[in-house]
Structure 1
Amino acid sequence: MKKFVFSLLSILLMFSTILPFAFAAEADAPAAAVKSVDDFKDLKNLPKADKDKFDSLIQDGVFNGLTEDTFGLDARMNRAQFAKVAAIIFDLEVDNTLTVSSFSDVSADDPANSYALPYIEALKKAGLTNGYDEEGKTYKPAGEVSRQELAAFLIRGLGLDADASSAEPVDDSTVDDWAKGYVSLALEKNLLTNQSAGKFSGKTSATRKMLALASFAAKQILTGGAPEETAEPEVQPQPGDEPAAPAEEISAQGKKMLFITRQSSQMTQLKENPDDEKLITRMKDLGFRVTWVNCDKFTAEKAEGYDLIIVSNTLNSKYLRSGIMKDVAIPTVYLKNHGMYYLGLSSQEENTNEYNIKSTTIAEPKDKAAAGLSGDVELLLTTDPKTAIAYGLPGKEATVVATVPGKPKEATIFYYNKGTHSDSGYEVQARLSFFSFAGNYDNATDSNWKLLDALVLWTLQNG
């Protein structure tokens, strides 16, 4: 049987309140006004029984939303986030000065999960985890929790490991052999239910909704009650939920993204400017499976097998000057104009910033990358002489979605479709897009994020 030594959820379920499965919960975040289920647009249409559960959890401060008005039912959580939540719940001693982990795959240089290093170490010190692999050398911080893993965690947390071993295994090809007893007992106890076509979909990633309802049911068992039999159909996006690809187009769910970030020697700057980490988290919320690489370590060969590339504005542009991306036939979003310039897709390299402005003008409101917006749209909450909105000067075959207000040649959002050409004749190998990095993401408006989401998903379509 495959060994799953990560027993965090099991322990959480044995103590006090229901596990607050909130993304990147903050121990020192300022107190916010108490919300209810009606404050989240993706919870309003849930069955009443589920709404009552979520309303109780939200008002008790157990759950937070991903945004002010979106709970994120379909969002997935990784093991790094588990660690932080657990450390906060149990008030573990966390040494925030730690920069080296006892696990080989946990690093202070990881833009996405470096924040969790001291929390992961706190869990190990408290005896709550031994890691992920048999030898306890790795933790797998970015790893997701599958439905069959969730079933095992819940059953172990309830002290029913022996019962699972003797249970009649499920006859389900979607469940690995090691998990069939756990899944059988989880179904019997109404902790989880089958999804479409009577299958459990064991290898499918568990969502926040699944985690919340299943842990709620486990809590009922722990307190001596019987969990309600709750229908758990296969998750379907609700109108207004987290960003998703348009109907009948490629979804970001499960797609592999390569994120090219700053050079290795500058990784310590993440503490002062964590925009890469925030952007990677945003992409994961869209459904991407994100891998990052330092720009000085990137080669064209490392891009093979990915569905989308994002080139961060934090990278050192000198690593693009050789035309390293010229033959990479993978849809790419550049957050730095230099990337388009070195391919001949923008005619100006330097001095492509406008200061003391907050807005962009939507040039093509009907374009899918315009996210349904029109007119002048604010990208920044505040601006000053040091805060810039970047632009490029694209060629005649580009599609310009937005520009600097009053300057239609300065494009803040534009793209080239596969098969189009630069003015110098270079043929575009896959859809290539540019998005203006607007100051920093703490200063970005909701419209800024909406436009970025739309462009990323449109680029993924690779038309």
Structure 2
Amino acid sequence: MKKTLTLLIVLLTFSVAHAQKKASKGSIYYVLRMDYRDRPVDELVKKRLDSLGYQVTLADQSEPVSKAKGYDLIIISSTVSSQDFGGAYKDLPIPLLTWENDILDDLRFTGKHKGVDFGEVEKEHYIYIVNAPHPLAAGLEPGINSVYRKDQPMGWGKPGLGAATIATMPGQPDKAIIFGYEKGATMDYDFIAPARRTMLFLDNTTFPLLKENGLKLFDAAVSWTKTKKAL
């Protein structure tokens, strides 16, 4: 009887573990500043990712880059300190998503001149979708779309020629707020993307203010960036 019970427990444990592994959409290494005042917003982002079926590990930006190896996706929050970030994670052959505009040049998403190659607008809640067929557009209609409940900061960048630009600031086509690079695409500085790379428009505290359209774009950014290009 004891042997039978032990066997049943082992089988049940294996089945649960297998089901959890099967249900997971992938592992995410989420880089942030752990002791920063906006940490609660990062926790809300993690909660969203958890609900979508991802396994998320939070990591302070001071952790060695090597700890991200083996994960399916790296997310770099805007709560990191850009002054201390440098080009961390730039060379890893792991898909990467960020919404910190101050490190876009370090990651080779854009050129190096703030206010020219990358930057932020203080108040906006509309975006202009220019590449609706792309998966990063989340099925939204081309043209003007509202993504925030009220005016909020939005980061932007001027991507290299190898990028797919999905959305820009309304009336400002040179300011891309959603764009992505395929693996092998030429980024800025003639840098070749070692895996998919995506930039999104969020700021430190804006995630809770996303409307349904905004959440769709967030989910699409995570999904597309993590997914390997079909052969």
TM over 0.5: yes
User: Alignment partner for residue 402 of structure 1, among 160, 167, 182?
Assistant: 167
- Post-superposition shift, 1:254? 4.6
Q: Give the equivalent residue in structure 2 for 1:450.
A: 216
Give, in angstroms, the shift of residue 255 of structure 1: 1.4
Q: TM-score, normalised by structure 2?
A: 0.86
Q: Could you tell me which of 415, 427, 436 is aligned with 2:192?
A: 427
- CA–CA distance in structure 2, aligned partners of residues 252 and 397 of structure 1: 34
Bigger Rg, which one: 1
For structure 2, the 5+ residue unaligned runs are none
Partners in 1 of 2:154 and 2:219 — Cα distance?
18
Counterparts of 2:93 and 2:3 in 1: how far apart (Å)? 50
- Aligned partner of 2:153 in structure 1 is 388
Select the structure with the greater relative contact order (CA < 8 A; seq sep ≥ 6).
2
Counterpart of 1:259, as a letter, is Y
Q: Which amino acid aligns with 2:7?
A: D
2-structure distance, mates of 1:456, 1:440: 17
Change (3 A) 1:348 1:373: farther
1:87-115 deviation digits (Å, cap 9, x = unpaired): xxxxxxxxxxxxxxxxxxxxxxxxxxxxx
1:293-326 Cα distance to aligned partner (Å, 9 max, x none): 111x2222111111100000110012322x2223
Q: 2:132 aligns with which of 341, 365, 368?
A: 365
Structure 2 counterpart of 1:377:
145
Pairing 1:461–2:204 present: no
- TM-score, normalised to structure 1, is 0.45
- Aligned residues of 2:111 and 2:189 also touching (Cα < 8 A): no
Of 402, 405, 415, which residue of structure 1 is paired with 2:180?
Answer: 415
Query: Post-superposition shift, 1:348?
Result: 4.8
Q: Structure 1: give runs of 5+ residues left out of the alignment.
A: 1-164, 170-175, 184-199, 207-250
* Residues 28-49 of structure 1 deviation map (CA, whole Å, 9 limit, x = unaligned): xxxxxxxxxxxxxxxxxxxxxx
Matched, 1:332 2:103: no
- For residues 120-145 of structure 1, give each alpha carbon's deviation from its aligned partner in whole angstroms, at most 9, with x where no partner exists: xxxxxxxxxxxxxxxxxxxxxxxxxx
Letter matched to residue 294 of structure 1: D
Query: Which of 255, 258, 261 is equivalent to 2:32?
Result: 261
- The DSSP-based 3-state class of the residue aligned with 2:225 is helix
Residue 203 of structure 1, aligned match among 7, 17, 24: 17
Query: How many aligned residue pairs are there?
Result: 222
Q: Give the root-mean-square deviation of aligned CA atoms.
A: 2.4
Provide the identity percentage. 27
Seen in structure 2, the aligned counterparts of structure 1 residues 203 and 277 have a Cα distance that, compared at 3 Å, is same
